[in-house]
């Protein structure tokens, strides 16, 4: 079974701190994704990566950056955390298939609170 793990289930950080959220998948997937989920707004794509060192902005990249140095690991970075970044963060991965969208496998999520 594919496993996507996230470094923490719950995280509390202070405003202005640099925050790293780590995601690791064990199925050699090329595609990896970071979403945030907020009540009433659903899941929104922050960044995605389709290969090592490759990254693309999603729908809401402002205030975030990402790093993909190894295929299995995709990190989301909050350079200077703010209270409006309090949210549930979800990581996912998938195989790339030409002309088709393959299923995504999601991690359990990290609930980040910025105070």
Partner 1 sequence: DAKTTQPNSMESNEEEPVHLPCNHSTISGTDYIHWYRQLPSQGPEYVIHGLTSNVNNRMASLAIAEDRKSSTLILHRATLRDAAVYYCIRAGGTSYGKLTFGQGTILTVHP
Strand partners, 54: 51
Residue 101 touches partner 1, criterion: CB under 8 A: yes
- Window contacting partner 1 (CB under 8 A); options: 13-21, 30-38, 62-70, 71-79: 30-38
Work out how close the CB of 80 gets to partner 1 at its nearest, in angstroms, rounded to a whole number: 26
CB of 25 vs partner 1, minimal distance in Å: 12
Span near partner 1 by CB under 8 A; candidates 12-20, 68-76, 77-85, 100-108:
100-108
Is 106 a binding residue for partner 1 by CB under 8 A? The answer is yes
The alpha carbon of 56 is separated from its chain's Cα centroid by a whole number of angstroms, namely 12
- Angle made by CA atoms 9, 11, 16, in degrees to the nearest 5: 150
Quote the tokens at residue 52: 């090592």
The C-alpha atoms of residue 106 and residue 88 are separated, in whole angstroms, by 13
């Amino acid at each position: 079974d594919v496993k996507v793990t996230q470094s923490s289930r719950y995280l509390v950080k202070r405003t202005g701190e640099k925050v790293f959220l780590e995601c690791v998948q064990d199925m050699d997937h090329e595609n990896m994704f970071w979403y945030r989920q907020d009540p009433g707004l659903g899941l929104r794509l922050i960044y995605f990566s389709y290969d090592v060192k490759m990254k693309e902005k999603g729908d809401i990249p402002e205030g975030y950056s990402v790093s993909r140095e190894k295929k299995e690991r995709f990190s989301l970075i909050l350079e200077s955390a703010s209270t409006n970044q309090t949210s549930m963060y979800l990581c996912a991965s998938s195989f790339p298939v030409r002309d088709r969208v393959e299923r995504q496998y999601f991690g359990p999520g990290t609930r980040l609170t910025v105070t």
